[in-house]
Structure 1
Amino acid sequence: MLIIIGLGNPGLKYEETRHNVGFKVVDLFAREHGIAFDRSRHKALLGQGTVRGQKVLLVKPQTYMNLSGESVRAVLDFYKEDPADIVVIYDDISLAPGALRIRLKGSAGGHNGIKSILSHIGTDAFPRIKVGVGSQPPGWDLADFVMTTFNKEEKVLMEESIAYAVKAIEGILEEGAQAAMNRYNRKA
């Protein structure tokens, strides 16, 4: 089973923010594949289905971003899966809006949600899809910036990028993370 985890913050207040791109990707994936988020367990909203002949579990942690690892650990423990069986989708301020980068492992790169996951699962060896949201303007606090919404031009790029991230997940299901990384990484 592939566990697809979108990072974000719960609640309408955060729904359209840069920090919720992971939720947006998983939501679109769910809609396109007829999967409903019909359970609330392990500090997350869950949806399960079959895509491209493989079982998938969609996870939207409800712990708020900085505590995402609590939910991920609970899901891995309950389903008895390894960290290599997850794909985490999240926002990345080091990438321009529209850019996408798949990595098989790596550091948190300053992302608090990933820091929490690394701390709770004890390894950095899990695939991730980083979706570019742009970098904060000079003088802005990072926490304030990731809670902003996209302007009109960025919104168009982000809709395309979110749809492209869904294709990247499908690529991981069909070809594996390494092949998907070679095919779907892109600059804005």
Structure 2
Amino acid sequence: MSKFLIVGLGNVGREYEHTRHNIGFDVVSAFVAKNGGFFKTDRLAEVAELKWRGKVFICIKPTTYMNLSGKAFKYWMDKEKIQLENTLTVVDDLALPLSALRLRPSGSDAGHNGLRDIQFTLNTSEYPKLRFGIGNKFPKGMQVEFVLGKWFKEDIPLVKHKINIAVEMIESFAQNGIERTMNMYNKKAIELPGEQL
């Protein structure tokens, strides 16, 4: 039975809940909820195990804070004996517009502290990532506040819609493989249903 590790990146603590930087947590939580799983506190992470279409998913939200995400990633990958190519890390991306979701088999940390720590811990950038575009609508010098801030009210419906699509992408990644899933989703500009011209 194939086994997958789904890693949502974020920070623990009430003040970080549902911020842009915690979108990885929100996507993985939505995937687990959709498939009837639940999280329990375990070593270095909140962990949920679930089965879907004959596959096993170990879903984690590291409790190490963003800068030490690699510790939780490596611990659970090793413990569950999961191949690196069967991992998927869900992460916020400032360089992508809010309308974008991008799946890639590898790629640099792009200045993201969570990815940087995973890359450092694993000694490779060759692991799959699902990047959730958060846009860059912030005044000069306000990047940190923007990333750690809550979504603008007008963006919330699109964010919720995108979370559902990201969940579909996780399922497709496991079912159809990374190449096919990239072809299906990467080029789409994501809009709310009914908004297309």
Per the normalisation by structure 2, the TM-score is 0.90
Pick one of 10, 13, 26 that aligns with 1:11: 13
The percentage of counterpart residues that share the same residue type is 36
User: Given that residues 83 and 121 in structure 1 are in contact (C-alpha distance below 8 angstroms), is that contact kept between their aligned partners in structure 2?
Assistant: no
Residue 86 of structure 1: how far off its partner (Å)? 0.5
State the distance in 1 between where 2:168 and 2:31 align: 9
State the distance in 2 between where 1:163 and 1:40 align: 26
Question: Aligned letter for 2:14?
Answer: L
Match of 1:129 in 2: 130
Match of 1:38 in 2: 40
Deviations 1:113-138 (A, max 9, x none): 10010000111111111001111523
User: Given that residues 93 and 136 in structure 1 are in contact (C-alpha distance below 8 angstroms), is that contact kept between their aligned partners in structure 2?
Assistant: no
Task: Structure 1: state its 5+ residue gaps.
Answer: none
**Pair member with larger Rg:** 2
Match of 2:26 in 1: 24
User: Given that residues 50 and 56 in structure 1 are in contact (C-alpha distance below 8 angstroms), is that contact kept between their aligned partners in structure 2?
Assistant: yes
State the distance in 2 between where 1:5 and 1:36 align: 15
Determine helix, strand or coil for the equivalent of 2:159.
helix
Residue 145 of structure 1: how far off its partner (Å)? 1.6
Match of 2:153 in 1: 152
Instruction: Report the aligned-residue RMSD.
Output: 1.2
Deviations 1:38-91 (A, max 9, x none): 2412x1111101112101100100111111111111112222223212100010
* Equivalent runs, 1:46-57 vs 2, <5 Å: 46-57=47-58
Question: Aligned letter for 1:181?
Answer: M
State the distance in 2 between where 1:51 and 1:88 align: 18
Match of 1:2 in 2: 4
User: Given that residues 93 and 135 in structure 1 are in contact (C-alpha distance below 8 angstroms), is that contact kept between their aligned partners in structure 2?
Assistant: yes
Determine helix, strand or coil for the equivalent of 1:49.
strand
Residue 182 of structure 1: how far off its partner (Å)? 0.8
Mean CA deviation greater in 143-152 or 159-168: 143-152
Task: Structure 2: state its 5+ residue gaps.
Answer: 191-197
Match of 1:62 in 2: 63
Residue 12 of structure 1: how far off its partner (Å)? 1.1
* Equivalent runs, 1:76-155 vs 2, <5 Å: 76-155=77-156
Mean CA deviation greater in 17-26 or 120-129: 120-129
Per the normalisation by structure 1, the TM-score is 0.95
- Could you list the structure 1 runs, at least 4 aligned residues long, displaced by more than 6 angstroms after superposition: none
User: Given that residues 7 and 88 in structure 1 are in contact (C-alpha distance below 8 angstroms), is that contact kept between their aligned partners in structure 2?
Assistant: yes
